[in-house]
Amino acid sequence: MKNFYPAFYSQFKCIANKCEDSCCKDWDIDVDSETEQYYNSVSGELGDKIRRLTVTDKYGERVFINNTECGVRCPFWNKDMLCDIYIGLGEEHLSHTCATFPRLKVDHYGCSEHILSFACPEAARFMLRTENAYDELDSSERIDTAPDDVSAFMIESRRRTAEIFRSGDPMIYKLIDCLVMTAQIERILQGEEPAPLDTSNYVEADIKSVFELHKGFEIMSKKWRDTLNSAAEECENIILSREFDDAFGKFAEYYIYRYYLTSLNEGDAMYAVKRIIFAYLITSGIYSYIHKYNIDISIMRILQRYSKEVEHSYENTEKMNDALSSNDNYSAESILLMLEGICDKLS
Ligand code: SF4
């Protein structure tokens, strides 16, 4: 199987105890069965502690129970912010999740594409400073590996969608272009003639409801919850910023390479695009709020934290999927009306 990587992939290295938002914090750590089998053979104090703190979560997965006494964190993350399992048993005996995060592998058309999760601050920094990072994933060599015309069309559609986010236009216009183009792509894949989105029988989606959706998610960090709640109160007066837009373009490309082909394959390319639009409304709303009140949070941390709070939670993904598939207000047409409404306020 051929492997394709973004430009920065091989340069990434975990910065361990220098990390400002470690993956050892906030999450339950999955323990795969092969690793647990090994842990069951470990003797001494560490082996006993591992067995005592490995539990079954509400989804039936084996996980390390969170240590809530000193903030929600992995119980093997010590006071020096280093991993006791890594120190005691070696890197080769970390669970699959710990050994691989933030590396993600997505298989498409007989090839593996490897990306890094934006939920890791160090990976986020690489993504924010690298131009055209995903070119290899859409190179002609990648298209040549497509087994048929339809999959080649899908890979090319992804490339053209990502290209939208590299233009110098304000982000709100790029989101409209992306939504409109994806609607055309969906029609072509369904064997229909491309046609403009007809919004005449639709009502405008409400930006407030997008904030309410996110407020109803499982939220790990109190600081994130407080900031989200405050930004929600002012969400109808978002001041859009070009500085934020530049960074968000890189985040949008990450979303496209993480989700677009999968959702296109599942017959719903709009899913990935709507998620990008929702991510933009929330993160630019938060940026607008912190900018107004001089709160010191970097753009990288807003985007990274959004990824950590929303993308890596099974429960939040389910809630997002339910909202996108069952709420009429989140149709492509209603979202287009909302984006056009934001543009009207700008002009
Ligand atoms: S989030 Fe990234 S940099 Fe931070 S500890 Fe985890 S892998 Fe390392």
Mean pLDDT for back-to-back runs of 10 residues, the chain (347 residues): 92 94 89 96 95 90 77 85 93 94 91 96 96 90 86 92 93 96 92 91 95 95 95 87 92 95 85 96 95 93 97 91 91 96 79
> How far is it, in rounded angstroms, from Cα 31 to Cα 63?
5
Q: Please work out whether the CB of residue 19 comes within 6 Å of at least one atom of ligand 1.
A: yes
Q: Which atom of ligand 1 is nearest to the CA of 15?
A: 3
The two beta strands, 62-64 and 54-56, are: antiparallel
Half-sphere exposure of 275 (CA within 13 A, CB side): 27
> How far is it, in rounded angstroms, from Cα 254 to Cα 234?
28
Cross-sheet strand order for the sheet of 111-116: 2-4, 111-116, 103-108
> How far is it, in rounded angstroms, from Cα 71 to Cα 293?
27
Q: Please work out whether the CB of residue 14 comes within 6 Å of at least one atom of ligand 1.
A: yes
Q: Please work out whether the CB of residue 117 comes within 6 Å of at least one atom of ligand 1.
A: no
DSSP assigned state of 136: G
SS3 label, residue 28: coil
Residue 95 CA, ligand 1 centroid: distance in Å: 15
Q: Which atom of ligand 1 is nearest to the CA of 14?
A: 8
Residue 49 CA, ligand 1 centroid: distance in Å: 23
Cα 219 to Cα 43, 56, 284: the distances in Å are: 37, 21, 18
Residue 22 CA, ligand 1 centroid: distance in Å: 5
74, containing H or E segment:
none
Q: Please work out whether the CB of residue 151 comes within 6 Å of at least one atom of ligand 1.
A: no
Global pTM?
A: 0.94
Nearest CA to ligand 1 atom 6: 23
Residue 83 CA, ligand 1 centroid: distance in Å: 12
Q: Please work out whether the CB of residue 101 comes within 6 Å of at least one atom of ligand 1.
A: yes
Q: Please work out whether the CB of residue 76 comes within 6 Å of at least one atom of ligand 1.
A: no
In the prediction, which pLDDT does 67 show? 66
Q: Please work out whether the CB of residue 188 comes within 6 Å of at least one atom of ligand 1.
A: no
> How far is it, in rounded angstroms, from Cα 235 to Cα 255?
23
In the prediction, which pLDDT does 344 show? 82
Residue 54 CA, ligand 1 centroid: distance in Å: 22
Q: Please work out whether the CB of residue 122 comes within 6 Å of at least one atom of ligand 1.
A: yes
> How far is it, in rounded angstroms, from Cα 252 to Cα 307?
11
In the prediction, which pLDDT does 70 show? 53
Q: Please work out whether the CB of residue 23 comes within 6 Å of at least one atom of ligand 1.
A: yes
First to last CA, the chain: 50
Q: Please work out whether the CB of residue 304 comes within 6 Å of at least one atom of ligand 1.
A: no
Task: Specify whether the backbone of 32 is left (phi greater than 0), alpha (psi in -120 to 50) or beta.
Answer: beta
Q: Please work out whether the CB of residue 15 comes within 6 Å of at least one atom of ligand 1.
A: yes
Q: Please work out whether the CB of residue 203 comes within 6 Å of at least one atom of ligand 1.
A: no
Nearest CA to ligand 1 atom 8: 14
The two beta strands, 29-30 and 62-64, are: antiparallel
Task: Give the mutation target among 23, 76, 303 for probing the ligand 1 site: most ligand atoms within 8 A of CB.
Answer: 23
Omega prior to 147 cis, within 30 of 0: no
Contact 230, 289 (CB under 8 A): yes
Could you give the residue ranges of the DSSP H alpha helices within the chain?
33-39, 44-53, 84-89, 96-100, 121-129, 140-144, 149-164, 171-189, 207-215, 222-233, 242-255, 261-265, 269-292, 299-306, 314-326, 332-346
> How far is it, in rounded angstroms, from Cα 8 to Cα 25?
25
Cα 157 to Cα 11, 66, 104, 170, 198: the distances in Å are: 28, 42, 22, 21, 22
- Helix 269-292 to helix 314-326 angle, to the nearest 10 degrees? 110
Residue 98 CA, ligand 1 centroid: distance in Å: 10
